[in-house]
Amino acid sequence: MMNKLQNAFSHCKFEVPEIIFGRGLLGQVGSCARRLGGKKVFLVSDQGLFQAGWVDQVMQCLLNDGLAFVYYDQITPNPKDTEIEDGAREYIRQGADVIVGLGGGSAMDAAKGIAILVSNGGRIQDYEGPDKIHRPIPPLVLCPTTCGTGSDVSQFAVINDSAERRKFTIMSRCVAPDISLTDPDTLETLPDEHVCTTAADALSHAVEAYLSVASSTLTDVNAVRALRLISQSMGNAVQERRPEDMANLARASLHAGMAFSNSLLGIAHALAHPIGGLYDANHGSVNAVLLPAVVGYDLPVVSERLPELAWGLGHQTNGDVAMASEIVQESINRLLDVCNAPRSLKSLGVEEKDLPELARRAKKDVCILTSPREASESDLLDILEQVY
Ligand SMILES: [Fe+2]
């Protein structure tokens, strides 16, 4: 038994930030910033969160904790290099000393990008790829307000090069925040459409992290837990928005984030990044379109993984791979239907003439490296055509 356990853990590397999770805990944001030595907070969020009142609440918490702050909201979905450069200049000009990112993946990735530039200088593109950051970034607290990004625990930031209309990934332990603070109550004001798209993103994180060649015991535990929570709560969360189901989706996002931060992802995300870059398309929607076809492509090489994946999706198969294969595909499709996910690239505005270029770019994306099944440019093009 001991040898088996030792083998199971022999090649695990698993890193997560300090995690605070609970309803009503957003008020701890000031004490988190203070604990990290901050006196002047650079608060990165977006106009939607401002209108929903959460930015005001955070500002009040910061004031109550005796902290000064600067508010920066010049960010858009799929955050752009220029927005990050402007934010970094503002951070330096204002003499801030800690960053708080409040929002979805865009606000949090922008906060990470700003943090990288203020301590390392240069252009944000200089840090593309693995381990290019040499100086420690300022203290960073990330507060997710959606059901799906995982950026609050991940070692990645995905930024859009606005001139090239290309998304690129920064990978470094340095960009995992010091503290991830989730208050599921912030989901109360998340528009229905974003509940669906971000939950679809979390679903794709959990499935791709589980099937990744870099998965481990620890990432599996988190990926499967995320799937259990999504399959149990997605329907009620989307249809009735019950607080406990919304909290389960937030918890699923956290578990899926811990999984993929340590195991990386696969072909769905490798394709989603160039599509998001070229069309500024919604990331969760793109993944929803791609995921069923990518799982179908992976099936021949992941058979022994399927029974546990099916269990995560709520079904006992007693190790029957054929049954598990059917159940996995059906369950993923059913969950995507529950959240009314788009099912074609065309419906997202993708142009057919661009498919070969998207396949070419996806072949260079870092997420392709951990796909369980190798894919040539032609294989990637086949998948794109299948879901066009
Ligand atoms: Fe994602």
Work out the average pLDDT over 50-74: 97
Q: Looking at 264-374, list the stretches that DSSP marks H as alpha helix, in order from N- to C-terminal side.
A: 267-279, 283-298, 306-312, 321-338, 355-364
Per-residue pLDDT reduced to its tens digit, 184-201? 999 999 999 999 999 999
Here the contacts of 240-244 (C-beta below 8 Å, separation 24 or greater) are 241/188, 241/192, 241/195, 243/23, 243/184, 243/185, 243/188
Which residues are within 5 Å of ligand 1 (an ion), measured at CB? 201
Q: Domain residue spans in the chain? A: 18-186, 192-386
Calculate how far, in angstroms, residue 204's C-alpha sits from the geometric centre of ligand 1: 7
Per-residue pLDDT reduced to its tens digit, 262-288? 999 999 999 999 999 999 999 999 999
Q: 72 forms bridges with which residues in the sheet?
A: 44
Q: 99 forms bridges with which residues in the sheet?
A: 42, 140
Whether pLDDT at 43 is above 50:
yes
- Dist. CA 21–CA 8, nearest whole Å: 28
Calculate how far, in angstroms, residue 102's C-alpha sits from the geometric centre of ligand 1: 17
Whether pLDDT at 101 is above 50:
yes
Q: Give the tokens for residue 78.
A: 């799929």
Work out the average pLDDT over 244-267: 97
Calculate how far, in angstroms, residue 375's C-alpha sits from the geometric centre of ligand 1: 19
Q: Looking at 147-211, list the stretches that DSSP marks H as alpha helix, in order from N- to C-terminal side.
A: 192-211
Calculate how far, in angstroms, residue 118's C-alpha sits from the geometric centre of ligand 1: 26
Calculate how far, in angstroms, residue 352's C-alpha sits from the geometric centre of ligand 1: 23
Q: Quick one: which of 345, 362, 174, 357 has its CA closest to 266?
A: 362
Calculate how far, in angstroms, residue 205's C-alpha sits from the geometric centre of ligand 1: 6
Per-residue pLDDT reduced to its tens digit, 146-198? 998 899 999 999 999 999 999 999 999 999 999 999 999 999 999 999 999 99
Calculate how far, in angstroms, residue 261's C-alpha sits from the geometric centre of ligand 1: 11
Q: How confident is the model at residue 23 (pLDDT cuts 50, 70, 90)?
A: very high
- Mean pLDDT over the full length of the chain: 95
Please give the pLDDT value at position 1.
Answer: 38
- Dist. CA 74–CA 294, nearest whole Å: 35
The structural architecture, per CATH, of the domain 192-386 is Up-down Bundle (1.20)
pTM score: 0.95
- Dist. CA 53–CA 73, nearest whole Å: 14
Tell me how long the chain is.
388
Calculate how far, in angstroms, residue 37's C-alpha sits from the geometric centre of ligand 1: 31
User: 18-186, what's its fold?
Assistant: Rossmann fold (3.40.50)
Please give the pLDDT value at position 3.
Answer: 40
Q: What are phi and psi of 41, to 5 degrees?
A: -85, 135
288 and 181 Cβ atoms separated by less than 8 Å: no
Please give the pLDDT value at position 10.
Answer: 53
Calculate how far, in angstroms, residue 198's C-alpha sits from the geometric centre of ligand 1: 8
Please give the pLDDT value at position 384.
Answer: 98
Calculate how far, in angstroms, residue 34's C-alpha sits from the geometric centre of ligand 1: 31
Better-predicted residue by pLDDT, 127 or 13:
127
> Which residues fall within 8 angstroms of residue 383, CB to CB, at 6 or more apart?
267, 271, 290, 293, 294, 297, 375
> Hunting for tokens 């791709």 — which residue is that?
208
Q: How confident is the model at residue 13 (pLDDT cuts 50, 70, 90)?
A: confident
Per-residue pLDDT reduced to its tens digit, 287-343? 999 999 999 999 999 999 999 999 999 999 999 999 999 999 999 999 999 989 999
∠ CA 64-66-71, rounded to 5°: 85
Domains 18-186 and 192-386 share a fold: no
